[in-house]
C-alpha cells in the first residue's frame, strides 16, 4: 500500500469518496422515495447553490464493536455551502443509514459543524429525518445529544439556527429544534413528539395517530412549535432559502438589503377604504400590512397559531423589517396567552438579529376569562412587554384603531421605548372603550335617569368625541404625529432611514430575568 504510486492512491480515494456518497440499501432508498421524501444528499443539493457544497467528515465511521455495519458518513452529511451566495452550514440526517439514528460519531460531526459555524458567524440549517438516539450506543448517544443542546444555546442570538423536520423527530431529539430560532415542518410526512402514540395509549388510554399527535398541523396550529409548514421537501427548502434572505449571517451584521422596484414614496390610498366605519367591525390587519410593505410581500410567522396577532418578515425600501400587528379578524385582535407568547418570541428574534420592528396596533385589551387567568395571562402577557422593553433595534408604532388599556402599553408604546409612534385619525387611545367607561363613571346617573338607555347612549357619544381620538395623546407626545393612512409607507421609510444609525445599549448584566 505504502509503495503504491500516488496516482493509484488518488484513484482509491475517489472510490472511497464515491462509496461515501451512496445512501443505504435500495429498499430503504425506495421506501424514502415512495413516501415522497428526498434523500439526504438530494436535499442538500437542492437547498444550496449549485456546486457550492463543501462536505466535512465524509469518511467518518462509528467505532462501536456492537454494530458490525460501518458505513461512511455514519448517517449524517455535514458541511457548508451558499444560499444566494451567502455562507450557510448544513447537516442532513440520512434515514437510509441506521434510520438516521444519532450515535457518538454522528453527533461529533454535528458538534464540529456547529462550532465552526459559530467561529465564522454563519447560520446553521439542520435537516432532521432521524429515529432518535442510537440504542446500541446507550448513554453515549444521550451525552452526544447534550453536546448539541449546549451548542444550540451558545449560538442562540449569535447566528441564526433553523430546524427543518422532514421525517421523524422523537424523544430527546425534539429539544434541539425547540431551541433553534425557526422550525419548519413538512405536511403529512414529518412529525415531532416526546412520546409516541403507543406510549400515549398505554399511559393515558388515548388512541391517536402520529400526525394527530405531532404532525405539521398539530405543531403549527395548536402547540406553537412549528413556525412554518409546506406540502413537500422541495417547497419547505425553498421557504427556508427565502427566510434566510431576511436575516443577517450573525448578530454583528445588518440584514441584507434587496433591490426592489416598489417606490418608497408610494402613497397607500387603499388603506382608508380597508378600515370599517364601525369600530366594532373586523378587518384583516394582513391586508393593511400588504399595502404598506414592498410589493405586498409578507412572510407570516406562525400563520395558523394565535391568529389574533400577526407577525412576519417584510421589506420596506428593500430593508428587512419584522412586523407585529393585532388582527381584529380573530378574537377582535385581543392579546391572550398564545398571542403574547408568539409575538414575544418574534420580537426577541428580530432584536437578536438587528431586524427593525414595526408594530400595527388595534387592540381592545387582554382576553378576559377564568381559563386565561388561571393559565397565566399575567405571566405570558409580561413576556411580550419584557421583549419590547428589552429590544434595542429601531422600533416604530402605528396605531390604526383601538389602543386600550394595558394592552396598548404592551404593544410597543412610546412609554416602553418605541422610537417613533404614529396614529391614524381613526385611532382610539383610552383606558377602555366608551361603553365600559361610561358604565363605571356614570353608573348612578344612568340608573336614576328617566330613560337609562337614552342617557347612556348620550354619555357614550360624548365620551367617544372627547376621549376616543388620538389628539389627546398627540398633545402629550405619546404619539409623534397623527397621519393620513395614505402616508403610512412614506412615514415608515423615512422613520426607518432615520433610525438606521440608532445606538442603544442595555445596562451591564449577566442576563435579564424573562418571565418564563
**pLDDT per residue over 390-440, tens digit each?**
999 999 999 999 999 999 999 999 999 999 999 999 999 988 888 888 888
- For 178-195, the pLDDT digits (tens) are 999 999 999 999 999 998
pLDDT at 434: 80
DSSP H or E run through 426: none
Is position 103 annotated as part of the catalytic site?
Answer: no
Same CATH topology for 6-244 and 271-431+469-500: the answer is: yes
The whole-number pLDDT of residue 454 equals: 85
**pLDDT per position as a tens digit, 195-254:** 889 899 999 999 999 999 999 999 999 999 999 999 999 999 999 999 999 999 999 999
The residues spanned by each domain of the chain are: 6-244, 271-431+469-500, 434-467
- pLDDT recorded at residue 491: 98
155 in catalytic set: no
319: region left, alpha or beta (phi > 0 left; psi from -120 to 50 alpha)? beta
pLDDT value of position 92: 97
Q: How far apart are CA 312 and CA 223, in angstroms?
A: 18
Q: Tell me which CATH homologous superfamily contains domain 6-244.
A: 2-enoyl-CoA Hydratase; Chain A, domain 1 (3.90.226.10)
Distances (CA, A) of 16 to 19, 40, 300: 5, 18, 45
Segment 52-71 mean pLDDT: 89
What's the pLDDT score for residue 135? 81
Q: Is the pLDDT of residue 270 over 90?
A: yes
Q: Does the annotation count 147 as an active-site position?
A: no
pLDDT at 1 over 70: no
- Of the candidates 121, 399, 156, 420, the one whose C-alpha atom is nearest the C-alpha of residue 249 is 121
Evaluate the CA torsion angle 222, 225, 228, 234 in order and state its sign: negative
Determine contact, residues 335/384, Cβ cutoff 8 Å.
Answer: yes
pLDDT at 469 over 70: yes
Question: With DSSP H G I counted as helix, E B as strand and the rest as coil, what are the percentages for the chain, rounded to 5?
Answer: 45, 20, 35
User: Which of the residues 290, 318, 406, 417 is marked catalytic?
Assistant: 406
Confidence (pLDDT) at 275:
94
Spell out where 98-195 has E strands: 124-128, 161-165, 168-170, 182-186, 191-193
Is 171 considered catalytic here?
yes
Residue 2 has pLDDT above 80, yes or no: no
407, 421, 434, 437: the catalytic one is 407
Which one of 121, 147, 157, 172 is the catalytic residue?
Answer: 172
Domain 271-431+469-500 in CATH: superfamily?
2-enoyl-CoA Hydratase; Chain A, domain 1 (3.90.226.10)
- Which run of H or E residues covers position 17? helix 6-20
Amino acid at each position: 500500500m505504502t509503495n503504491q504510486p500516488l496516482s493509484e492512491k488518488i484513484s482509491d480515494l475517489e472510490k472511497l469518496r464515491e462509496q461515501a456518497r451512496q445512501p443505504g440499501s435500495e429498499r430503504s432508498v425506495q421506501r424514502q422515495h415512495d413516501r415522497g421524501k428526498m434523500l439526504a444528499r438530494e436535499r442538500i443539493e437542492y437547498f444550496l447553490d449549485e456546486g457550492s457544497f463543501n462536505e466535512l467528515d465524509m469518511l467518518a465511521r462509528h467505532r462501536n464493536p456492537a454494530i458490525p455495519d460501518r458505513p461512511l458518513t455514519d448517517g449524517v452529511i455535514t458541511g457548508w455551502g451558499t444560499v444566494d451566495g451567502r455562507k450557510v452550514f448544513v447537516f442532513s440526517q440520512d434515514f437510509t443509514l441506521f434510520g438516521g439514528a444519532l450515535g457518538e460519531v454522528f453527533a461529533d460531526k454535528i458538534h464540529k459543524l456547529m462550532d465552526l459555524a459559530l467561529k465564522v458567524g454563519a447560520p446553521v440549517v439542520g435537516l432532521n429525518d432521524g429515529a432518535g438516539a442510537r440504542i446500541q450506543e446507550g448513554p453515549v448517544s444521550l451525552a452526544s445529544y447534550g453536546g448539541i443542546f449546549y451548542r444550540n444555546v451558545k449560538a442562540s442570538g449569535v447566528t441564526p439556527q433553523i430546524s427543518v423536520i422532514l421525517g421523524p423527530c422523537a424523544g430527546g431529539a425534539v429539544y434541539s429544534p425547540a431551541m433553534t430560532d425557526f422550525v419548519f415542518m413538512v405536511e403529512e410526512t414529518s412529525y415531532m413528539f416526546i412520546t409516541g402514540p403507543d406510549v400515549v395509549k398505554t399511559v393515558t388510554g388515548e388512541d391517536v395517530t402520529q400526525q394527530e399527535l405531532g404532525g405539521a398541523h398539530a405543531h403549527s396550529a395548536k402547540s406553537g412549535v412549528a413556525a412554518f409548514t409546506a406540502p413537500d421537501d422541495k417547497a419547505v427548502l425553498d421557504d427556508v432559502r427565502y427566510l434566510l434572505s431576511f436575516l443577517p449571517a450573525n448578530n454583528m451584521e445588518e440584514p441584507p438589503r434587496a433591490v426592489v422596484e416598489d417606490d418608497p414614496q408610494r402613497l397607500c390610498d387603499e388603506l382608508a377604504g380597508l378600515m370599517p366605519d364601525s369600530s366594532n367591525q373586523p378587518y384583516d390587519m394582513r391586508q393593511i400590512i400588504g399595502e404598506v410593505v414592498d410589493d405586498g410581500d409578507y412572510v407570516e410567522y406562525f400563520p395558523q397559531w394565535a391568529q389574533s396577532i400577526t407577525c412576519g418578515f417584510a421589506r420596506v425600501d428593500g430593508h428587512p423589517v419584522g412586523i407585529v400587528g393585532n388582527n381584529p379578524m380573530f378574537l377582535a385582535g385581543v392579546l391572550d396567552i398564545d398571542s403574547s407568547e408568539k409575538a414575544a418570541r418574534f420580537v426577541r428574534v428580530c432584536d437578536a438579529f438587528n431586524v427593525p420592528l414595526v408594530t400595527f396596533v388595534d387592540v381592545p385589551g387582554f382576553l378576559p376569562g377564568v381559563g386565561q387567568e388561571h393559565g397565566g395571562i399575567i405571566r405570558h402577557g409580561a413576556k411580550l412587554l419584557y421583549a419590547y422593553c428589552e429590544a434595542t433595534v429601531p422600533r416604530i408604532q402605528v396605531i390604526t384603531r383601538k389602543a386600550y388599556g394595558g394592552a396598548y402599553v404592551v404593544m410597543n408604546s412610546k412609554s416602553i421605548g418605541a422610537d417613533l409612534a404614529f396614529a391614524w385619525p381613526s385611532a382610539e387611545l383610552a383606558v377602555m372603550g366608551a361603553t365600559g367607561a361610561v358604565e363605571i363613571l356614570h353608573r348612578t346617573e344612568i340608573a336614576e335617569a328617566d330613560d337609562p338607555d337614552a342617557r347612556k347612549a348620550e354619555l357614550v357619544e360624548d365620551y367617544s368625541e372627547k376621549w376616543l381620538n388620538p389628539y389627546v395623546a398627540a398633545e402629550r407626545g405619546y404619539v409623534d404625529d397623527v397621519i393620513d393612512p395614505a402616508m403610512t409607507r412614506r412615514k415608515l421609510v423615512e422613520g426607518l432611514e432615520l433610525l438606521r444609525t440608532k445606538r442603544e445599549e442595555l445596562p451591564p448584566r449577566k442576563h435579564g430575568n424573562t418571565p418564563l
